[in-house]
Structure 1
Amino acid sequence: MDFELILAIAFIVTAAAWIYDRIVYAPKRKAVMAEMAPEALSQLDKNTKQHLAETPKWLSEVKSYFVIIAVIFGLRSFVIEPFQIPSGSMLPTLKIGDFIVVNKFDYGVRLPVLNTTLIPTTEPKRGDVVVFKYPEDPSLNYIKRMIGLPGDVISYHNKRLMVNGKLVDESLLAELPVSLNPNREPVRLYEEHLEGVDHQVYKSFRRNPLEGDWVVPEGHYFVLGDNRDNSADSRVWGFVPEENLKGRAFYVWLHWNEFFSLPSFKNNGLIE
């Protein structure tokens, strides 16, 4: 379900109803109220006034949602947008069930649904955690870490990442048994140092066939999941077009993994 498209349609429908009412029925209601005695007018509540001059009930109902939908649509389209993490591809940075907030302004003010840039702001940076429309199905939203910028040469062999011929530094933090890993397999926990952005990644002990060398074309980006051996990312389906970018994920505000579990705020904080 493309909620952004549904919200855009709701905004257009309620806005059209509001404008139609203002042009056609609002003057008629004003004329009717002008002819009423002050005592009678004072006894009318707001709902009754809205239905004077034979204003259709459906029109009053639809236009009544315009303001609240316009506020939600504006905030989600141009300022911030909430998402829930559905998979473990970004472990250990983001857990399944994390609710995050995405900054929609970082990569430019974009036209809703079409995602065309109206006002450029800043460019994506290596190490950002980004939300984007999945290239093979734009109705789906994906979240990964930005690794390759336009023109970069990316290599991934023997579980080591190389950017423009330079091996990305990493430090082994721990070896985690099955009981401590949601992947249900033992993994190594590393801290990766990606040009000033330090973040943690998982690597399994098994061999990963997702290896190769890539040159990032202009207007595209190369992304990886922090759960390196359990992530379908640019190694699988290719590059992310610039117009698919939705924003930068910057904050976890809630964790709620299962419907019948209690929400938790203990992992709230900025996303690294």
Structure 2
Amino acid sequence: MIFLRFIGKTCGFFGYVVQYACVTHCTFEYIGDFVMCSGPSMEPTLETNNILLTEHISPRFHRLRRGDIVIAKSPTNPKQNICKRIVGMPGDSIKGHFNIRNQVVPRGHVWLEGDNTSNSADSRIYGPVPEGLIRSRVLCRVWPLDKIRSLTNY
């Protein structure tokens, strides 16, 4: 009898663990998550080891705007994520860089650039980025604590 009660409580405990794991997974996959930024491409706005709070809803509903900082899959290496600012939306004409003439951002794409233009591999190198590669929009920096601030442009 004691053994059956123990088994029942153990199964109940594991049921709660599975439920919380599912809720956590869905939250991080569909609502938002935390991302650690690395590399110099977004300096001085963001520095290496800054932790960012991001949301996944705006990219899914195509509610991104010029000036938003986004996390996207790298167009040149799908195993790597990049953190860049949207500087061009579909239909925008982008001034030529590196001896490339002006370019119009095609429908379904955005033009991404790092804030540190002298040290950033971005759309100036690989061209417009498909909106489908954008994973999330950055809301705010949460670490380091003395630099907590909103990073939305509205």
TM-score by length of 2: 0.85
Counterpart in the other structure of 2:67: 127
Deviation, 1:147, is 0.7
Identity between Structure 1 and Structure 2 (%): 27
- Matched letter for residue 49 of structure 2: G
Counterpart in the other structure of 2:42: 90
Cα distance between partner residues in 1 of 2:29 and 2:125: 29
Counterpart in the other structure of 2:149: 269
Cα distance between partner residues in 2 of 1:51 and 1:75: 26
Cα distance between partner residues in 2 of 1:137 and 1:41: 56
SS at match of 1:139: coil
Counterpart in the other structure of 1:178: none
| CA gap 1:51/1:249 in 2 versus in 1, 3 angstroms | closer
- Matched letter for residue 151 of structure 2: I
Counterpart in the other structure of 1:56: none
Q: How does 1:36-115 map to 2 (within 5 A)?
A: 40=1, 44-45=5-6, 48-49=7-8, 65-108=17-60
| Per-residue Cα deviation, 1:24-48 (whole angstroms, up to 9, x for no partner) | xxxxxxxxxxxxxxxx369822xx2
Deviation, 1:91, is 0.4
Cα distance between partner residues in 2 of 1:267 and 1:51: 44
- Matched letter for residue 151 of structure 1: G
Is residue 223 of structure 1 aligned with residue 112 of structure 2?
A: yes
2:82 to 142, 150, 158: 142
Cα distance between partner residues in 1 of 2:95 and 2:80: 27
SS at match of 1:246: strand
- Matched letter for residue 123 of structure 1: R
Contact 1:78 1:104 (8 Å CA) reproduced: yes
Q: Which has the larger radius of gyration?
A: 1
Cα distance between partner residues in 1 of 2:10 and 2:23: 25
| Per-residue Cα deviation, 1:108-151 (whole angstroms, up to 9, x for no partner) | 2xxxxxxxxxxx3x521111111111112222211100011111
- Matched letter for residue 104 of structure 2: V
- Matched letter for residue 92 of structure 1: P
Cα distance between partner residues in 2 of 1:223 and 1:77: 23
| CA gap 1:156/1:74 in 2 versus in 1, 3 angstroms | same
Aligned-residue RMSD, C-alpha = 2.5
Deviation, 1:64, is 6.9
Counterpart in the other structure of 2:141: 252
Counterpart in the other structure of 1:153: 93
Cα distance between partner residues in 1 of 2:134 and 2:29: 13
SS at match of 2:125: helix
Unaligned runs of 5+ in 2: none
Q: Which aligned segments of 4 or more residues in structure 1 are displaced greater than 4 angstroms?
A: none
| CA gap 1:51/1:124 in 2 versus in 1, 3 angstroms | closer
| Per-residue Cα deviation, 1:177-215 (whole angstroms, up to 9, x for no partner) | xxxxxxxxxxxxxxxxxxxxxxxxxxxxxxxxx353222
User: How many residues of Structure 1 are paired with residues of Structure 2 in the alignment?
Assistant: 150
Is residue 239 of structure 1 aligned with residue 142 of structure 2?
A: no
